[in-house]
Structure 1
Amino acid sequence: MILVEGIGPLATIQDLGRPGWFDSGVGVAGAADCGSLRLANRLVGNPEGAAAIEVLLGGLVLRALRHHTMAVTGAPAPATVDGMPVGAASLLELEAGQTLRLGLAETGLRSYVAVRGGIDVAPVLGSRSRDTMSGIGPEPLRPGDRLPIGPVPPAIPIVDVAPVATSTDEILTVRALLGPRDDWFTDATALFDGEWAVSTDIDRIGARLDRRSGPPLERRIRDELRTEGMALGSIQVPPSGQPVVFLADHPITGGYPVIGVVVDADVDAVAQARPGRIVRFRPAG
């Protein structure tokens, strides 16, 4: 059992989501940065899809009520155990009464805290993820919450720390494939020209981009588009011309044309991009 003493801006329970419910109008949701969730779980010996805590910007404070093995990955929020600094992406052994505290992340948006055994709240439609758009899944964490931890898995952690590649590049390069509605634009390749900037309008649903340099995305077809299915990473272009990259809690349908789709391997990076981060799209392949 773990006691939540502080949460920062937002902390939710996330796993790898609930696929298979599109016909009921329910999206997948799950961790915004799946790679960081998987790494945190591997570090503590959990299955990759075990439920963990997704922390926006930092500020989480957890008190262990018994011995727990934990790990913190994702956005590099400075972590301490009882005031002593501990490494990122490393195994943390907390005894009963000890406190893990995350400071403000230096870069990125979302950190992940995994506990050996996984966060064992009741699943909804087969997942423990919070879908912030639909309201499905466990409520966002609040101070005073007590989180049950599942049985310790048979796998034994085999590393103390994992090397994590970090980028200091000011510009985030994102690969995308044009379509399915690129023909609705006068020149869809304008997506790849110039630079975009992540706006302040970003959450688990999507990241809106502002044009920083380069030509605008101009509609060639002005007709209304029938509602269509939306995939993770879809780049939807509303009438404003500001594209939105759909993230974990995106709607499963939409009525604006999708000019392209971000490749799966780059969606995690978009989910970690802070407002003001410069983005360049590049053709995939």
Structure 2
Amino acid sequence: MRALEIIRAGVRTTVQDLGRPGYAHLGVSRSGALDAGALRRANRLAGNPPGAAGLEITLGGLRARATGALTLALTGAPCPITVGRRPADPELPLAVPAGAVIEIGHATAGLRAYLAVGGGIAVPPVLGSRSTDTLSGLGPAPVRDGDVLPVGPVTAPPPGVDVAPHPPPPAALCLRVWFGPRDDWFTAAARHTLLSAEYRVSPQTDRVGARLTGPALDRAVDGELPSEGLVLGAIQVPADGQPLVFLADHPTTGGYPVIGVVDPSDVDRLGQARPGTPVRFSPAAAR
């Protein structure tokens, strides 16, 4: 059996694919890779379909052994990588002989690296996905030292050429936002503040959501909402006025008002933001 034997799992490594859409009515979020574009890129380089399962590695630090010959690709947060103690290149297909040890160093920028294996990580799917959902507990457990992760059959060779440039994650973010559905619960000054102030990513950030710190957003309407649906990128504002942007493992309902929603094409970049990263918002319709 071709597999990856995990020698050192790192800070937080999970199996992720593109998630399990279509179950919000059952209280199950989509989950999946926080930087879905990076996972798709890794899968393309490894010869996989876009939705194959790979590893999402927080801040690097993973060490694994290939039990058979494999093709790997590492994308996302820039990390040094060695194969059999020899330096290798991220963002390229890597041929790994049987028995070789793959070591991924600590990320030099960004937060999450993605490791794809030709054939994909073949853990059992749950509701059609192999993603670990850290909020609901669905899917495989987070990867631990000593785990043996099976690899599926190869379906296609890696591409011969891939020249698309992929710059490292930016040091500061500007995220496009669509106001609503509850922006009328906030003062005009609060809406102006959201578009003019600088926020920073809080250390209290995980796969569920990115908490931001900065000027509080004042409410125009007191009281509580009945729980209503939440989507990826929703900017919920709890009682302390500090915005929280929901990420892949977000709950499907919530009672705090949502002032706006980050444009879906910008959410991947927030998934790579380390604590302390400056964040600004701009109206989506203005671009």
Amino acid of the residue matched to residue 16 of structure 1?
L
**Is this contact kept in 1: 2:4–2:151, CA < 8 A?**
yes
> Whole-Å Cα distance in 1 between the matches of residues 203 and 161 of structure 2?
38
Give the residue type in structure 2 aligned to 1:172.
L
TM-score computed with the length of structure 1 as normaliser: 0.96
1:68-87 map, 5 Å: 68-87=70-89
What is aligned with 1:131?
133
Residue number in structure 1 paired with 2:264:
264
Greater mean alpha carbon deviation, residues 150-159 or residues 22-31: 150-159
1:249 maps to 249
Q: Is the Cα–Cα contact under 8 Å of residues 236 and 257 in structure 1 kept in the other structure?
A: yes
Structure 2: stretches of 5+ with no match in the other structure: none
Q: Any conservation in 1 of the 2:216–2:240 contact (CA below 8 Å)?
A: no
RMSD: 1.3
> How many angstroms does 1:39 deviate by?
0.3
**Equivalent residue, structure 2, for 1:228:** 228
- Paired with 2:164 and 2:103, the residues of 1 have a C-alpha distance of 20
Deviation at 1:144, TM superposition (A): 1.2
How far apart in 2 are the matches of 1:55 and 1:229? 29
CA–CA distance in structure 2, aligned partners of residues 172 and 268 of structure 1:
11
- In structure 2, distance between residues paired with 1:156 and 1:35: 17
Out of 143, 149, 152, the position equivalent to 1:150 is: 152
Match of 1:52 in 2: 54
SS in 1 for 2:25: helix
**SS where residue 38 of structure 2 aligns?**
helix
Q: Percent identity?
A: 54
8 Å Cα contact 1:233-1:263 kept in structure 2: yes
1:205 counterpart letter in structure 2: V
Large movers: runs of 4+ above 4 Å: none
Q: Is the 8 A contact 1:44 1:69 kept in 2?
A: yes
Alignment partners' CA distance in 2, 1:252 and 1:124: 18
Distance in 2 (CA, whole Å) between partners of 1:155 and 1:176 is: 39
Tell me, in whole angstroms, the C-alpha distance in 2 between the residues paired with 1:27 and 1:101: 32
Please, what TM-score do these two structures have when normalized by structure 2? 0.95
Number of aligned residue pairs = 281
Q: CA deviation at 1:83?
A: 2.1
Residue of structure 2 in register with 1:23 after alignment: 25
What amino acid does structure 1 have at the position aligned with 2:183? D
Aligned to 1:105: 107
Aligned mates of 1:219, 1:81 — CA distance in 2: 54
